[in-house]
Structure 1
C-alpha cells in the first residue's frame, strides 16, 4: 500500500442499479425466505434496500449493486456473525439463510441476476442529518469504531473486491484523479485534486508501516443507528451496511468515522477530537497512524465529494445520492479548512503526545540596533491594564504600547502563544481566534530590520516580506523601503520599521507550513496545533526567556480543575461537567482564560454587572482609609442603614447588617423566635433559604438537599408550593393555595403549635421565577398575624429591582412584611446582607443577648452597599430590568410557540425561567435535556443553569445591565439549540 494502486475500469466499479420490480422482490421473499410483508424503499447510494414489515418482525431486503460479487456478500455476513459474538450488546444486521441454506439468493432483473440477502432490521435511527452532535455522541461514534476495529482485528485479511475498492483509502488518490475530471464544477474539482495530492504526499512515507486488517470501512453517522439517551441525545446502539467491508488500514476506520462528523451543525475540525480520544482508548493509535489520520480524513472527504457528484450524474433519478451532495461538500470544506500538519499536531496534543518540534529557532537579531530586554505587554485575561472594559476597545493594544513608549520605553512587544483578551468578542455564538501566532514590536524609533538567516525573499504585501530558507518561513509586516524579492544573505537589510497610526510597529511570525500563509491568531480549540506550526519568534527580537505569566495551550494551569478537586471540598460543586476557567468579568459578560467571552444569564449576585468601576473604586478608597467592625462609630454604616429603610415602608425602620443571605434568614428566624417566644415556623415547599442551621431547616428544596423533607426538624411545618403551572392547583385554580395555607396555619394554632413566623419568597424563585397567585401573601400574612406570628419576606434573590415592575417582591403582592431579608444583589458579589424590621422586633433580640457580625456593616461592606444603591439609581437598572426583561420574555414566548419542549415561560423583569417538559399534557420534566441544553449553550457562549426541584427550568437571572442585543443573542442561541439539537 505504499503507492495508490490502480483501479479497474470505472464502469465496472460504479454501475447504477437497474429498475427493480417490487412484485418480483416480494415473490423472492416468499419463495426463498418464507417471508411475506410490506416493502418500503429505504434508499441507498448504490444498492437497493427495502424495509420489510411483517406481523412477526421487520427485515431488510438488500439487493446488491451488480458490481458486488456473491463472495464479498458472504464475507460480510461472516463478519457480522463474528462481531455479534465479540460485541453481544451491539445491534447488527445478521443474515437469514434461504430455503437452500445459502445467505445469498438471486433475483432476476432486466440486466441479469442480482444478489439478494435478507437481513435483520436494526432498530434505531441514523444521525446523518445536520443536527448538532454533542461531544459525548461524537465520542460514542469513535468508541464504536474502535470496538469494531478491535473485534475485527483477528479476522483473516481478504482483498476488498468489487466496488469496495472505491472506498479503500489507499485507493483514494486514484479514485479522485479518475472522477474529478468528470465533474461539471471545475473549480471544485481542482480544489479536490490539489487537496488530495497534498494529503497523499503526507500519507505516502508511512503507508507501508500502517497496520492492515479487515475493517468495516463505513462506521459513519449514516450507518450507525442510535437510540435517544436520557437527555435526548442520540447515542450509538448498532451498525448497519457492511458493503465496504474489506482489508484496509486500521486507522482508516477512524478516519471514515471522523469525516462523517464534519458536516453536522456547528461542527469544525476540532469536533472530531472526542472520537479520536475514544477510539484510542479502545484501540491505541501509533505515531504513524496519528501522522496520517488527518490526511486520510481529507482523502475520504475528497472521495465522497467526487463520487457523490459522479453518482448524481450517472444516476440522476437517485434522490438519495443527490441529497447527499451538500453534506459531502461540507465535509470536504471542513477537512481542508485547517492544514493537515496543524491538525496532526492538535491530535497529538489531544492524546497527550509530546510536540514533534520544540527546539528554538536560531538566527541573528532582526533589529540589531535594539539591545537588551524588550518588555512584554500583558494582553491576557489577567492583565491589570485592561480593566473597566478597556479590552473591548479595538485600539486597546496600540494604546497600551503608546503608553509604555511615552513612559520612556525604547520598545515593547507582545507575547507569542498568549490568549489575548483584546481579541475577545462578546454577543456572538462563535469562539474568537485569540491565541497569538506571532508577535508585534512597538518601537520609539524607525529601526532597520535585517535578515536573521540566508534565504529567498518574496513580497506578500506592499509592506510585507516572507523570507524562506532552510528552516521555517519568516513573515514580516510593517516595513518601509522593503528590499526587492530574491536571494538574501544573513544580516542583509530588509527595510525599516514603518510608522502606522502613530506608532512604529513590526509584525513577526514564523511558519513551518511551506507555501501557506498562516493566520495571525488561532482559536483556542486548535491553539496547540497552530503554535507548533508557528513557533515563537521572540528570540529574534530579544534575549528574554519565556514570558512569565504567559498562558500556553499545554501550561500546567490547564489542569487547574484537578488541583481544585485535590484541595477544595468537592461538595462545593462547580457548574458544568468540564467548566471553563473564568478569570474576568465585565457588565453582563464573563471571559475564560483562553479569551472566550460568555454572556452571563445566571449571575443574580452581580446585579450591577461584573467589574463595576464605581464599586471597585469605592472599595479601593475605603480599604486604604479604614476597615474594621461595626462596633466602631463611622458614617458609612449609618448612611447605608438609612438608605435601606428609605426604600421600605415606614414601619420597617431598623437594620441588621450581616454577611450573606443564609445569615440574614437565620437572623430573621431568631428575631421571630425572640419576639414571639415560640419556635414553630411555616415554610413553603420547594424553597431554598440558606445553609446555616436555621435557614437550612426551613429550606425544603430537594434539588439542594435530597433529604430536605425527611431531615426537617419538628418545628418546621410546610405548606404546598404555590406552583400555578405544575402544582396541585393549576391555572385558574391556583387561588386555592392561599386559603389552604391559611387553613394550615389555623390548624397549627388548634394543635397548640402556633407559628412564630411564616417565611416565603414573595416571588417563587426556586421554581424558576414564578409569580405567586394573586392575593396569596395577603391571605397567608393575615392568618399568620392572627396566630400571633410574624411574616418574613425572603428578598435575597428577587429584591433590588430585579422584577422591573417593583423594587421589592412583596410589593407585587400588595403586602408589608414584618421582617425583610436581603443579600446577593446588595453587595454585587461582596459578602453583604441585611435584615430590616420594626424597632420593637429588633429590640426583642436583647432577650437572647446581643448581635454582632465582624464583617457585616464594616466600613468596606457599607461603602459597597452604598455604591450598589447609587448605581442602581443612577443607571436606572430597575427600568432596564423592566424593559429588557419584557422584551426577553416576549422573545422566549415566541420560541415556545415553535418548540414543544418549552412548557412555560415564567417570571417578570430579569427574574425569568424557561421550563422544559417532554409532554405539555403530562408535564413530564425534561431534566436531563435541560442539563444537556445548558452544556450546549455554554458551547455557544451563554452561561445558564437549571433550577427547580425537577431541575428542568432554565434559571434566567442576569445582571440588570443586560442589553437588548445580549438578550437577543441568548434567544438566538436557545433557538439554535432547540432547532439543531444539543
Structure 2
C-alpha cells in the first residue's frame, strides 16, 4: 500500500491513507478547529459524502460530514445558509444545527492527497431512519407530511440559489434522468411501468409553470428522515437530515418526494401517500393543481431512483444500490396500477376537500340527457343486495344457486330484469374486515343490469366506441352532451360495435353474455359513467372497498337516470346517522363498544356483518349462545308467534314443556322455576327471596363482581359501585377478596389456594355474624365474568358455601354469564362440586331473546310464598318458552357442551403458546369457552396494560375480530363466543391477536 501525507490547517504533516479522510486526520481537525477532544468515531453510510458520528465520554454526540470540496464551494455555502436560515425561521423543526469552529466559522478545510475536504460538525439527532423501521404507522406518516410542510414554510423565504450545478435528483430533470438510464432495465414489465408513470409526468408539463415554487429540501427519502419513540413508546418524527440536494423547484416536489418514498414497502401505497399529503396540507395548503401533480411527481421520483440505481449497479455493483432497488421496483409496480385521477381524488378527500375539482355538474347533464335519450322501458326492478336485505334471511349467501333462486323469486314479470344500484355494498362480495390494502372490495362501481342470457342491451345515448371490450374488459363509449364530454363503460357484453363506430341512442351495444349457473346474479351488465377518458380506459375497478366509496361517488357518477330511474333507492341509515340518533335520544350512560363503532345489520353463526358487508368474528357474545340468527331458534319463535303469545298468568303448554327441560339439567333438589326476562331481574329476585326467607338483609359478595343493573343488584356489584360514578358499597354489602391466582395472595403455585381463599371468605362471614349482621346470602358467579374472567381454584365454592350455610345464609350461584354448558357441564357450579340453594340464569337462555330464570328448592320457594303474589308479565310467555326450549335442544343435540370443552381447551393452549412470544400477555385463564387474557406492561410488577387493552380492541376490530376488555383494571380481554366456535375460529383469533400485539405501538409499551 502506498502511504500518503496530509497537510492540516495548522501546517502539520499527518500520515494518512488514500480515499476518505483517515480517522487520525479527522480527530486532528475536530480537536484543532472545533475544540472537540476524546471523541470516538462511528462511520455512517453515505452516497457521496463521508459521514461520521462522534461520541464523547460524557455521551455527547455530534454528526460530522466530510465533503470533497473547496471551502468557498457554492454547494457547501448553500447548504450552510439553509441550515442557518431554518434555525431562525423554524427553530423547533428537528434539523441539524451547525456547530461553529473556534473562529466562529461553520466549516474547516483540510487537504488530503492533494484534494481539499470540508469538515462540518452538526448537532446529533436521535432516532432511526425510516428505511430501518419495519412499520410506518399512519400517524407517523401524517407527521412526516406535517414536518415536510413546516420545512417548506421555513424555506419559503429563501432566495433562489446562484451558481449551483444541476444534479441527478432534480425533479425538473426527471424525464431526462429516467431516459438516460432506462436502457439498463432489462425487465420488460418494469420498463412498461416506468413508461406509464413518465407519461403522467409528461402530462404535467403544460401546468408546470403554474405550480407555486420555492426552495425545497428535494430529498425527503426514507434514509433522510428519522423517527424515535416518545415517553409513551409512540413513534414520532425526530429529525430531517441532509440538505445536500436542496434547490429551487416546484413546491409540490417536497411533499411528492416524501409521499413517494412513503409508498415504498407498503401494502397500500396510495393510503400511505395520502397520510403524508394530508399532513403537509394541514400545515401548508396545496393548490388544486398541486394536488393533481403530487402523485405523478411522487411516482416519477421512484422511477428516477430505480432506473438510476439499476444503471449504477450494472456498472459497479454496490450493496447500497441493491438495497435501494430491492423495495423500489415492487413499489413502482403497485403505483403504476393506480390511475392518477383516483390518486388525486384520494388526496383531496384526505385533505378534507371535495374529491374532484370544480366543474359542471355531470349529474345534471346526465339527467337532461336521460330525458332526451332512449329510455329503458319498463325500468328494471330494483334489487337490494345490501347486507341487511331480506333476500338473505332464508338463504346461505355463500350458496350461489340458492341466492340465484331467491333473486329470481324477487324479480317479477316474464322478463328477468333487475338493477343493482351504484355504489351499493353487497353481502355476496363480503369478507372479513381488514385494514389498508386488505380491505375487502364489497362496493360495486356503477349500476348492474340483470337481464336474460343473450338479451340485447341498447345505448341510452349516442356515443362513439373508444374500446370494444371483451376478455374481461369493458366496452367504452365517449359521449358529448351540451359541450361536456364523458364516458360510459359497459361490462359483460358480447358482439359489441367496432372501435370508432358511432352508436345512436337506442341502438344496440351488444348482447349480455351467457351466465354461469354458479353466478348468483346470472347475466349481468355493469354500467359505469366516468368523467375522463383516462379513467374509462384504465380500466376502472368494478368493485372497491367501502373506504373508497366517497372518492368513487365523484369519480364515477350514478348511471341510474340513464337507465330509466329517477330515484334509485332509499339509502339505509349509515353509522353516522345511527350514532347521531343515539347521541340525541339515548342516555350517555348507555355506552356502546368502540370509539368508532360499526353499523351491524346482520349476524349468522359466529359472525357479525355490517352495512358494508364486512364480517367480524364474534368472540364476545355469550348472549347468542347457539349462534347468531340460528335458524331453528328463529323458526321456533316464528311458529309460536303465529299461534299464541300472552302474559304468563294464563295457562299454556309451552311453559310446562320448557321448565321440565330446564329443571332436567339441574341437580336435585333444584326444581322450582321463576321465569323472568333478564339476568338482572333474576338476581334481584334471588336476593328478595333470600332476604324474605332468612329475615336478614346483609349480603356477602366477591370483590370485582357484577350481578346486574337494577338498584338492588347494583348494590352488590363492586364492578359498578366501586367504578366511575359509584357511591361505594351499601352498609348491607360485605366483600370477600377476589380469588385471583394471578394477582391476589395465593397463586397458581399454591395447591391449596382454593381452601385458603375460602378460609379468608369464611372469616368475613364469621366476623359480620359475630357483629350482629348475619348474612342472608352469599352470591357468586361460578366463574367471574366482568371481574376479569376469574376461574376459581378447586374447593373454593365448597368452602365458602359451607361457611355461609353454617351462618344460616343461602348460597346463590349466578350463572347468568357462564351457564347453559359454556364451561362443559350444564352449570358452572358443577365444576366446584357444589349444589347451591338458588341458581340465577339469563343471557344464553334465549339466544338474544330476553329470557331469564331463578331456580330454587321447593322448601325455599314455599317459604317465599307468604301471600304476596309474584308476577312477571313477559317472563315465561309462550314465545320465550319456545325459544328457550329450542336453545336447550340445540345445545344437547349438537353436542355443544362437548364442543366447549374441546375447542375451549385448544383455545387455552393456543393462547398460552402465544403468551410465550408476546410479553404483553401476563396471564391466560380458561374454563371451557370462557377465557381471559390479561395484558400487563411489566410481567414482574404486573402493571395493568389498560390503555393497551383498549388499543387491542380497536386494532382487532379493524381486522375483523370482536374483542373487549373487562376486569378490575379493564385489562383482561374477555372471550366468551357463541358455543358454535370452532378451531378455525380460534386460529383466526390467535393469529390476529398475535399480529396486533406485534405492532410497534404495542411492543413499545412493554417495560423490561
TM-score in same-fold range (> 0.5): yes
Partner of 2:131: helix, strand, or coil? coil
Structure with larger RCO (C-alpha < 8 A, sep 6+): 1
The answer as to whether partners of 2:476 and 2:537 remain within 8 angstroms in 1 is: no
* Structure 1 residue 548: Cα displacement: 1.4
Corresponding residue pairs, total: 957
Q: How does 1:37-436 map to 2 (within 5 A)?
A: 37-64=39-66, 66=68, 71-73=74-76, 75-76=78-79, 79-80=82-83, 83=86, 91-106=94-109, 108-109=111-112, 112-129=115-132, 131-158=134-161, 161=164, 166-201=168-203, 203-218=204-219, 222-228=223-229, 232-264=233-265, 266-310=267-311, 312=313, 316-319=317-320, 321-350=321-350, 351-353=352-354, 355-356=356-357, 358-360=361-363, 361=366, 370-388=376-394, 390-395=396-401, 398-405=404-411, 408-426=414-432, 430-436=438-444
Q: How does 1:966-977 map to 2 (within 5 A)?
A: 966-977=985-996
* Structure 1 residue 314: Cα displacement: 6.3
The answer as to whether partners of 1:684 and 1:720 remain within 8 angstroms in 2 is: yes
Q: How does 1:697-776 map to 2 (within 5 A)?
A: 697-701=715-719, 705-706=723-724, 708=726, 711-733=728-750, 734-735=753-754, 736-776=756-796
Partner of 1:724: helix, strand, or coil? coil
The answer as to whether partners of 1:437 and 1:535 remain within 8 angstroms in 2 is: no
Aligned equivalents of 2:62, 2:897: Cα separation in 1 = 63
Q: Hey, what does 1:883 align to over in structure 2?
A: 902
The answer as to whether partners of 1:388 and 1:586 remain within 8 angstroms in 2 is: no
Q: Hey, what does 1:11 align to over in structure 2?
A: none
The answer as to whether partners of 2:686 and 2:854 remain within 8 angstroms in 1 is: yes
Q: Hey, what does 2:690 align to over in structure 1?
A: 672
Worse-superposed segment, 738-747 or 132-141: 132-141
Aligned equivalents of 1:389, 1:312: Cα separation in 2 = 59
Q: Hey, what does 2:457 align to over in structure 1?
A: 449
Q: Hey, what does 2:703 align to over in structure 1?
A: 685
Identify which of 480, 500, 520 aligns with 2:515: 500
Cα distance 1:483–1:208, how it changes in 2: closer, same or farther (>3 A)?
closer
Identify which of 468, 471, 474 aligns with 1:459: 468
Aligned equivalents of 1:387, 1:791: Cα separation in 2 = 44
Cα distance 1:26–1:230, how it changes in 2: closer, same or farther (>3 A)?
closer
The answer as to whether partners of 1:437 and 1:530 remain within 8 angstroms in 2 is: yes
* Structure 1 residue 418: Cα displacement: 0.7
Calculate the TM-score normalised by the size of structure 2.
0.87
Q: Is residue 945 from structure 1 mapped to residue 964 from structure 2 by the alignment?
A: yes
Q: Is residue 439 from structure 1 mapped to residue 447 from structure 2 by the alignment?
A: yes
* Structure 1 residue 19: Cα displacement: 4.0
Cα distance 1:463–1:516, how it changes in 2: closer, same or farther (>3 A)?
closer
The answer as to whether partners of 1:74 and 1:104 remain within 8 angstroms in 2 is: no
The answer as to whether partners of 1:369 and 1:448 remain within 8 angstroms in 2 is: no
Partner of 1:418: helix, strand, or coil? coil
The answer as to whether partners of 1:58 and 1:120 remain within 8 angstroms in 2 is: no
Q: Hey, what does 1:490 align to over in structure 2?
A: 504
Cα distance 1:253–1:637, how it changes in 2: closer, same or farther (>3 A)?
farther
* Structure 1 residue 64: Cα displacement: 4.9
Q: Hey, what does 1:8 align to over in structure 2?
A: none
The answer as to whether partners of 1:219 and 1:253 remain within 8 angstroms in 2 is: yes
Cα distance 1:19–1:601, how it changes in 2: closer, same or farther (>3 A)?
farther
Cα distance 1:447–1:642, how it changes in 2: closer, same or farther (>3 A)?
same
Aligned equivalents of 2:104, 2:965: Cα separation in 1 = 57
Aligned equivalents of 1:332, 1:785: Cα separation in 2 = 75
Aligned equivalents of 2:501, 2:244: Cα separation in 1 = 55
Q: Hey, what does 1:527 align to over in structure 2?
A: 549
Aligned equivalents of 1:721, 1:73: Cα separation in 2 = 69
* Structure 1 residue 378: Cα displacement: 0.5
* Structure 1 residue 676: Cα displacement: 1.8
Q: Is residue 476 from structure 1 mapped to residue 494 from structure 2 by the alignment?
A: no
Cα distance 1:207–1:494, how it changes in 2: closer, same or farther (>3 A)?
same
Identify which of 547, 568, 581 aligns with 1:547: 568
Q: Is residue 516 from structure 1 mapped to residue 516 from structure 2 by the alignment?
A: no
Aligned equivalents of 2:261, 2:32: Cα separation in 1 = 39
* Structure 1 residue 522: Cα displacement: 1.0
Cα distance 1:837–1:929, how it changes in 2: closer, same or farther (>3 A)?
same
* Structure 1 residue 428: Cα displacement: 7.5
Q: How does 1:890-929 map to 2 (within 5 A)?
A: 890-929=909-948
RMSD: 3.3
Unaligned runs of 5+ in 2: 1-17, 480-484, 1002-1008
Partner of 1:918: helix, strand, or coil? strand
Identify which of 796, 802, 822 aligns with 1:802: 822
Q: Hey, what does 1:7 align to over in structure 2?
A: none
Q: Hey, what does 2:29 align to over in structure 1?
A: 28
Q: Hey, what does 2:582 align to over in structure 1?
A: 564
Aligned equivalents of 2:592, 2:958: Cα separation in 1 = 17
State the Cα deviation string for residues 807-856 of structure 1 (Å, max 9, x = none): 22211211112222222212222222222222333344445944333332
Q: Hey, what does 1:784 align to over in structure 2?
A: 804
* Structure 1 residue 228: Cα displacement: 3.5
The answer as to whether partners of 1:210 and 1:288 remain within 8 angstroms in 2 is: yes
Q: Hey, what does 1:6 align to over in structure 2?
A: none
* Structure 1 residue 149: Cα displacement: 3.5
* Structure 1 residue 479: Cα displacement: 3.9
Q: Is residue 818 from structure 1 mapped to residue 826 from structure 2 by the alignment?
A: no
State the Cα deviation string for residues 218-254 of structure 1 (Å, max 9, x = none): 5565544444357644233444444444434444333
Cα distance 1:562–1:817, how it changes in 2: closer, same or farther (>3 A)?
same
State the Cα deviation string for residues 383-424 of structure 1 (Å, max 9, x = none): 110125532234565434433456545521222111111100
Aligned equivalents of 1:549, 1:82: Cα separation in 2 = 58
Q: Hey, what does 2:954 align to over in structure 1?
A: 935
Q: Hey, what does 2:591 align to over in structure 1?
A: 573
The structure with the largest alpha-carbon Rg is 2
Partner of 1:884: helix, strand, or coil? helix
State the Cα deviation string for residues 550-590 of structure 1 (Å, max 9, x = none): 46xxx976554344333333332222222222222111111
* Structure 1 residue 323: Cα displacement: 3.0
Cα distance 1:149–1:680, how it changes in 2: closer, same or farther (>3 A)?
farther
Partner of 1:373: helix, strand, or coil? coil
Aligned equivalents of 1:562, 1:140: Cα separation in 2 = 30
* Structure 1 residue 172: Cα displacement: 3.2
